[in-house]
Amino acid sequence: MTTATSADTGSFGSDLSSANSRSSGPVRVRFAPSPTGYLHVGGARTALYNWLFARHHGGTFILRIEDTDLERSTEEATGAILESMRWLGMEWDEGPYRQAERMDLYSQHARRLLETGKAYYCTCSPQELEERRQAARAAGRSVKYDGRCRNLGHARGALRFRLPEDGVTVVEDLIHGPVDFDHSDLDDFIIVRSDGFPTYNFAAVVDDAAMAITHVIRGDDHLSNTPRQVLLYRALGYPLPRFAHIPMILGPDRTRLSKRHGATSVSAYREMGYLPEAMVNYLVRLGWSHGDQEIFTREEMIRYFSLEKVGKTPAIFDPQKLEWVNTHYLKTLPSSYLVAQMRPFWAAAGIPEEDLHRAREEWLAAVVDALRQRARTLVELARISSYFFRDPDPQGYDQKARRALEDVPLVVLEELTALIAGLSPSQFSASSLEATYRDFAAARGLRLAQIAQATRAALTGTTASPPLFQVMEILGREKVLRRLEQAISVRRQAGAEPPH
């Protein structure tokens, strides 16, 4: 495989932008995952680029499930892929089509190739093929099928495509430019296995032709498959789509992204508390750019996206950058939207469902607004907001909180609690509470920070929270009084001072 010049086309490698290409009609693209596992971030980016390309051109985005690998394909994986696509907001216009339901179509095309002499049956067993491969490696020869069944006329076995023996196939890739493949480096590849199921290269070509796909946008690990597919298109008499092979996504160590780098599936990042808007925004920038802009609305992505701006070099997956993007959306998305996203995370953090159901939307939004600047993920936001729902365990006060409580005389806590108990509902706002605390501190010659930190410790069990008076307003008078009284009780039980 080498980069070709425009003059390097042969009888089986004419320019894909010629009149024999489908690219002149309405754009039709597809995402075709194999349901053997969850949707990987690399697959999600491929889906996103196809979706954006279709939306930019007013075209059609098709979802096709390539499930002919019956041993590895599962309904659970199919459902997980569809759910991840919906979560990312990439609804499809057609499909999902399933290859397992299109076997008659593949059989018809296989017969056509067989009847025209462009395919033949091969009876070589997998064991025989492996022995020949090992022998070829030992002799330093090219490891490929030797064509021994080419002219034997078998009436059964696996079906192989009869590759043109001479020539070069040039793939005019929209990202990498022209890439040529010498036929001497290829072999007569299997298109239908002996069990009757089509192989990837054959089924993909038949489906793409039947679905009138105009542009095949996929990872560049498929680039080596493309000359075989081009030859199948020509043998079947179908016009060629345009091809665009996206560079791979690598881990921080510049090796192919895998589980050793941490989470790699879209569903895992969803469970970790990342927002779909952040995931989409991050994925679109993994290989594509529009100037120096980092944050895009969905509408901007559609407006600006083009294959010309997709880079040729692999993209590096940076979890810290993804986290940064996620914090941006946590800070800027509408609080009502974040509340809806937060509900399952609050439930997972142990907040009773009845409490969430009983809480007013406005109150939940106030909780989110108080903490959204302090969280990196929805999981973290659920964790740090738990004290709004549950009274802190007096045995669970952290060390700093205990010191803050002990730093204020018990009598002061008791007087402060009595003062708060006498406040009217109209006085239980952040501004009124602050004024009350300032007057109280001044009258007793205390530092405001001292009594505020003790109150924060009693209310939250920690010494880190949003502004105290905002927290008090959100908690409300009843919870504030109950928690202060709990802190006083803890002090009394510890024998600090007698009650006053």
Q: Which residues are catalytic?
A: 259
Residue 172: helix, strand or coil by DSSP?
strand
Instruction: Please name the amino acid found at residue 11.
Output: S
Contact in structure between 373 and 331 (CB atoms under 8 Å)? yes
Please state, in angstroms and as integers, the Cα–Cα distance from residue 150 to each residue in 125, 389, 468, following that order. 15, 74, 82
d(CA 354, CA 418): 31
Residues 6+ apart with CB under 8 A from 86: none
Contact in structure between 318 and 254 (CB atoms under 8 Å)? no
d(CA 155, CA 121): 6
Contact in structure between 186 and 228 (CB atoms under 8 Å)? yes
- The two structure tokens encoding residue 485: 């009284």
- Rounded to a whole number, what is the largest CA-CA distance in the chain? 106
- The two structure tokens encoding residue 192: 């239908």
Neighbours of 244 (CB within 10 A): 20
Beta bridge pairs of residue 265: 40
d(CA 135, CA 140): 9
Burial bucket for residue 88 (CB in 10 Å: 0-12, 13-18, 19+): buried
Q: Which of 316, 307, 314, 322 is nearest to 276 (CA)?
A: 322
